[in-house]
Amino acid sequence: MNLSPFGIGLIVFSGVLFVFLIAYGFKVHHGMHRSIFSSPYTVWMILFTVVPLFLIGYYAFTDVNGKFTLENFANFWDSNREMKRQLIGMGFSLEEMGMTARGSVNVDTLVYSLKMAFGCTVICLLLGYPAALLIADRKFKLGPTIIILFIIPMWMNFLLRTIAWMSLLEDNGLINSLMTRLGLPKLKLMYNTRAVLLGMVYNYLPFMVFPIYNALSKQDVRLSEAAQDLGANNFLTFWRVVFPLSMPGIVSGITMVFMPSVTTFFIPRVLGGGNTEMFGDLIERTFLTADNWNVGSALSLLMMVLILMSISLLRKVDPEGEGGSFV
């Protein structure tokens, strides 16, 4: 196997860092300590989490020559900014070329992604909360079976689950074939916003159901019984007792659905057919197609800020992480 100098350097650095952590652990604890066994995980996190984040920050605030600049974020606000600069460098007039207006492609893509993620989150909440409430009901005997039915599709690869929808939604797919046999006209189910939203809801619905189910299953039944003993009907018991106590699971589910929804890029590509572009697609296109790592890193950094804001909201509403686990 042939390794590049960078790969060899990465392996050497990992080995040196691993040896250093073990030596440091022996020095601090005067012998073997259980925390030493976490050293491989620490090395892994440094190499594949801390270092990439550092590189994203470095490229976002520098130009191709490595000099500090905020131009990459200006390119996000004005998608035509780089082209304008090239035209000016070649001696063209922006007025003559009709390039004076601000390009809004990047901002519009972010707004569209936020709208799609919001719609997906709302639909998942409306579908997921009743499902979680039904599963958590101790009188409902099929609860464990439904949980398994939610888990089984997650064992399949995410890409395969999304591609499988093509055989259902395409023009000659299962749904349109059934419509034709019934004498009904074919429906345009693929390559539009509805197909993308359907794929997002299908893939991310379990991430809404499980945290809410976890919060509901932890509730003390005696609280609901006490509310009913005090004269509350089923609706008041749900609204004043069950729903407030399930709020940590709701917030956790919203966060776990919204974050991957706003950054997804494979679902719009497959089910949207290139007719829809979300912010994840824009970041990938900037990195791979345009080969502009500086602007791509700036876009990634902006997305990370949105994710951190979502996590901070989760911390405030659910500081103990009570609704965060799956089962």
Tokens 């791509």 belong to residue: 296
Q: How far apart are CA 128 and CA 205, in angstroms?
A: 7
pLDDT tens for residues 198-255?
999 999 999 999 999 999 988 888 888 898 888 888 889 999 999 999 988 998 899 8
Q: What Å distances lie between residue 184 and 30, 179, 190, 299, CA to CA?
A: 78, 5, 17, 45
| 254, 126 Cβ separation under 8 angstroms | no
What does the mean pLDDT of the chain come to?
81
What's the confidence (pLDDT) of residue 207?
A: 93
| 189, 173 Cβ separation under 8 angstroms | yes
- pLDDT above 70 (res 172): yes
Q: Which two tokens stand for residue 165?
A: 């929808």
What's the confidence (pLDDT) of residue 94?
A: 61
- pLDDT above 50 (res 127): yes
Q: How far apart are CA 19 and CA 15, in angstroms?
A: 6
- pLDDT above 60 (res 151): yes
Q: How far apart are CA 315 and CA 325, in angstroms?
A: 14
Q: Which pTM does this prediction carry?
A: 0.80
Task: Give the Cβ contact number of residue 327 at 10 Å.
Answer: 9
DSSP 36: G
DSSP 230: T
Mean local confidence (pLDDT), 264-268 = 88
- pLDDT above 60 (res 181): yes
What's the confidence (pLDDT) of residue 132?
A: 93
Q: What is the DSSP string of 71-90?
A: HHHHHHH-TTHHHHHHHHHT
Q: How far apart are CA 182 and CA 259, in angstroms?
A: 40
Confidence band for 119, pLDDT divided at 50, 70 and 90: very high
pLDDT tens for residues 8-52?
565 666 666 666 666 666 555 555 556 666 667 777 887 788 888
Q: What percent of the chain has pLDDT over 70?
A: 79
What's the confidence (pLDDT) of residue 34?
A: 60
> What residue spans define the domains of the chain?
1-60, 70-102, 105-317
Confidence band for 301, pLDDT divided at 50, 70 and 90: very high
Confidence band for 147, pLDDT divided at 50, 70 and 90: confident
Q: What is the DSSP string of 118-145?
A: HHHHHHHHHHHHHHHHHHH-TT-TTHHH
Q: How far apart are CA 36 and CA 228, in angstroms?
A: 53
Mean local confidence (pLDDT), 175-188 = 87
Who has greater pLDDT, 55 or 81? 55
Who has greater pLDDT, 293 or 103? 293
Q: Which two tokens stand for residue 324?
A: 């965060």
What's the confidence (pLDDT) of residue 1?
A: 44
Question: Residue 63 corresponds to which amino acid?
Answer: D
Q: What percent of the chain has pLDDT over 90?
A: 23
- CATH class in words for 105-317: mainly alpha
